[in-house]
Amino acid sequence: MRSAPRSFALLPLALVGVLVAPAAASASEGSVPPEVTAYVTGGGLVERLDAVYGLDAEGKGVEFDDTTTPGPISRVYHWTDDRLAGDVEAIATRMVNEWAVPVSVGEQPVGVAIVWINLDTERPELAEFEADADAAAALAEVPDAARLVRDPGASAWLALEADTLTPLVPGTSGLTGPVPLADYEVVAPAAEPEPETTDAGLGIAIAAAVALFLVIVVALYVLPRVRGSRDASGSAGRSSTTSGAHADDTQVVEERRPEGDASRDPRTQVVEERRPEGDGSRDRAAV
């Protein structure tokens, strides 16, 4: 019967352990979904890091191994559009679909991984990895009550607590220590340049356009004319053949006509020459 009270006594401790375990893997202000925590602490992040950013055949990359350990997870904030526009009275930061995780190998910081939730699959994935040991060491010490602000315009990581901004990774921000938020001049990130069209690509595009134009010209103008000339030649040939046949028939008829001329028939001439011999007047004179 003593086991029952003992089990009830252990139940609160178990509940506390369940509630505290996810919090131990997170840092700073902002929520960390359970699926993100499971992806980071369950081996999915390390496996993906090794597949994408690990050593390649040329020996480039980070040598992730069994000692690879992800650090505390921090929700990432960006500057709002109003703050980027210079409005110091507006809300300064906004929560984004990113979580920063410092990564170490053999207890040595190697870089910072950014995890996001793919909106199509609704699953956490590795978005990017920055091989920066200093940034990994700094993001492992984000204050619990601070917001982790990523400042792309200055390539900086900042901790915002109340109205005080503290540089974790200064970048090009010029900060050397904590400053009031209103005194910090936010620089908008530079727009990504559009891909330039090389001369070779332009030449290929022009050649392709010219070839297409020639094909269209041949299809619309040259081929119909060739077909028309062939049809005309065929018709002319058939007409010539027919005319020649008629001409031959006419010639045959014309050549045959003299053969039937009565004046040239020897039989007719003989009859005419014999008529005087049978003249009645000459017979009576002889008698």
Q: Within 10 A of 72 (CB to CB), how many other CB atoms are there?
A: 20
3-state SS, residue 58 = coil
Measuring CA to CA, how many Å separate 22 from each of 38, 73, 109, 181? 9, 10, 22, 31
Encoded tokens for 256: 């045959």
* Helix spans in 102-197 (H): 133-139
Q: Kindly state the DSSP code that residue 190 receives in the 8-state scheme.
A: P
Q: What is the pLDDT along the chain (287 residues), one digit of tens a residue?
A: 333 333 333 334 333 333 334 443 566 677 899 999 999 999 999 999 999 999 998 989 999 999 999 999 999 999 999 999 999 999 999 999 999 999 999 999 999 999 999 999 999 999 999 999 999 999 999 999 999 999 999 999 999 999 999 999 999 999 999 999 999 999 888 766 665 544 555 667 777 887 888 888 777 776 666 666 666 666 555 555 555 555 555 454 444 555 545 444 444 444 444 444 445 444 444 43
Q: Within 10 A of 174 (CB to CB), how many other CB atoms are there?
A: 13
pTM given for the model = 0.60
Q: Kindly state the DSSP code that residue 54 receives in the 8-state scheme.
A: B
Q: Yes or no: say if 226 and 220 are a contact pair by the CB < 8 Å rule.
A: no
